[in-house]
Amino acid sequence: MRCLLALLTVPLAAQSIDWTSVNAEALRHLQDLVRIDSSTGHETRVAEYVKKVFDAEGIPSTIVSRDAERANLIARIKGNGSKKPLLIMGHSDTVKVDPDKWKIAGPFSGAIVGDYIYGRGVIDDKSDLFAAMMTTVLLKRTGMKLDRDVIFVTEAGEEGSSGFGIGYLVNDHWNEIEAEACLAEAGGVVRRNGKAAFARIETTEKVPRGAKLVATGISGHGSRPMRTNAILHLSEAVTKVALWDPPMRFNDTTRTYFEKLAQISPPEQAQRFRDLFDPAKSAAVREYFAVHDPSTYSMLHTSISPNIIQGGFQSNVIPSEATATLDIRALPDENMPQFFDMMRKVINDPAVEVVPTSRGGSERPIPPPSSITSETYHQLEAAFEKVYHVPVLPLMQTGATDMAQLRARGVQCYGIGAMTDEEDGPKGFGPHSDQERLLEESAYKHLQLWWNAVTSIAGAK
């Protein structure tokens, strides 16, 4: 039913686009964007690239920045104003690279090898950037009638320095980006055995939190081992929290996600998702996920990963202090003081202190999830169904994105994304990996998805 409605509401202009030539043009843009190294800031280069593209189309845009090297770009295609604007975003920075590890193609090559385009950011997030940019271009070229303004933003600093990007835009340029709904990164389509299997729309995300474990003991001579050794106490505490299974809790998004996943998974896998809801079987299946499927396991509760460990300075000296830095990803509704108290009980060692820390200026607000019953959500569902012919699930992302700041301002944000092979992430081809890659076919389909989603949400009815 929804599919049919979506088809009926796709405006006529959509049919008149010559997709073969648009795809060729779009691919060039994606490759060009990947070839711009924005892994260490310098997002201004990306903003200037987009500005050039928009200038050539007669789309007015402005470059705004807190730091001249780390600029953002805002553009607007006007609608008739009967509905509030739709914001579409792709971030312009990427994570850093270790160039020696890129064996198949260079990190800023944008090279096509086999079926894939390689390069840093080709998924995260230049895939959304090029598709949102092309969608904006096509809205202008077709002169499509819109019920709402479509605001395009490419923002800097998403990967850990959002003060230059979304934080700055929300604080200093709110009037220019204020919208009812927003589309950005973090969802996507899972391809299994060469076929699209299901799509995911990100409606909420976990919240990065920090803490340190600080163990203190008595210093002494390394030839006389002591049971009070700070490193010994720290190691035991790290083991305990790393193996701890914090209380499981579902929200609307994750409950629906696992219920739907059970309906579309092979029998054995489906049973595991159902077992999560069975108190008698849940603990065993959680242990299975902890070992075999860390991403599913992380969706079930607030998670803890010990990622830095420090202690000692000379091999014959017993140190009096040792510390471990934890990466905590909290469920959106987690009560952190209570959570830290639980951690202290799990560690159960007076020599080890749990010290909450800030995340170095990258703290994001904790907004409520976006609705999975809104009109925008259903229009997005229909767009995925139309382009990929697959079931669509709401997703709680375990990482964090710039949507947090927008959701905190009341914008209904939905994370979409390109189609990637299920096994690519584990094999080291996913976002942030040393061989980030995107199926060429997926780039074209992703543009179709953006186009269908934006025209169905913003197009005049």
List of residues contacting Zn ion (CB under 5 A): 124-125, 185
Residues paired with 64 in a beta bridge? 72
| Closer residue to Zn ion (CB): 60 or 365 | 365
Q: Is 284 exposed, middle or buried (0-12, 13-18, 19+ CB in 10 A)?
A: exposed
Least Å distance, CB 90 to Zn ion, is 9
- For residues 142 and 122, give the distance between their C-alpha atoms in angstroms, rounded to a whole number: 27
Residues contacting residue 193 through CB under 8 Å, at least 6 positions apart: none
Least Å distance, CB 399 to Zn ion, is 8
Q: Collapsing DSSP states into helix, strand and coil, what is residue 116?
A: strand
Least Å distance, CB 46 to Zn ion, is 13
CB 38, CB 46: distance < 8 Å: yes
Q: Collapsing DSSP states into helix, strand and coil, what is residue 359?
A: coil
| Closer residue to Zn ion (CB): 85 or 121 | 121
151-160: burial string, b at 16+ Cβ within 10 Å, e else:
bbbbbbbbbe
| Closer residue to Zn ion (CB): 129 or 347 | 129
- For residues 122 and 103, give the distance between their C-alpha atoms in angstroms, rounded to a whole number: 16
| Closer residue to Zn ion (CB): 187 or 369 | 187
| Closer residue to Zn ion (CB): 183 or 347 | 183
- For residues 321 and 310, give the distance between their C-alpha atoms in angstroms, rounded to a whole number: 9
- For residues 136 and 148, give the distance between their C-alpha atoms in angstroms, rounded to a whole number: 13
In angstroms, the Cα distances linking 328 to 116, 347, 426 are 34, 16, 21
| Closer residue to Zn ion (CB): 149 or 205 | 205
| Closer residue to Zn ion (CB): 146 or 396 | 396
| Closer residue to Zn ion (CB): 241 or 406 | 406
Least Å distance, CB 125 to Zn ion, is 4
Least Å distance, CB 130 to Zn ion, is 14
Selection from 234, 375, 392 nearest residue 306 by Cα? 234
- For residues 262 and 275, give the distance between their C-alpha atoms in angstroms, rounded to a whole number: 10
H or E stretch at 160: none
- For residues 57 and 50, give the distance between their C-alpha atoms in angstroms, rounded to a whole number: 11
Q: In what order do the strands lie in the sheet with 116-118?
A: 112-113, 116-118, 437-439
Least Å distance, CB 35 to Zn ion, is 18
Q: Collapsing DSSP states into helix, strand and coil, what is residue 163?
A: coil
| Closer residue to Zn ion (CB): 79 or 90 | 90
| Closer residue to Zn ion (CB): 149 or 158 | 158
- For residues 249 and 315, give the distance between their C-alpha atoms in angstroms, rounded to a whole number: 44
Least Å distance, CB 36 to Zn ion, is 16
Least Å distance, CB 345 to Zn ion, is 36
Least Å distance, CB 124 to Zn ion, is 4
307-332: burial string, b at 16+ Cβ within 10 Å, e else:
eeeebeeeeeebbbebbbebebbbbb
Least Å distance, CB 123 to Zn ion, is 8
Least Å distance, CB 242 to Zn ion, is 26
Selection from 84, 79, 74 nearest residue 133 by Cα? 74
Q: Is 336 exposed, middle or buried (0-12, 13-18, 19+ CB in 10 A)?
A: middle
In angstroms, the Cα distances linking 42 to 69, 156, 235, 265, 285 are 5, 9, 40, 43, 45
| Closer residue to Zn ion (CB): 125 or 149 | 125
Least Å distance, CB 186 to Zn ion, is 7
43-52: burial string, b at 16+ Cβ within 10 Å, e else:
bbebbebbbe
| Closer residue to Zn ion (CB): 125 or 436 | 125
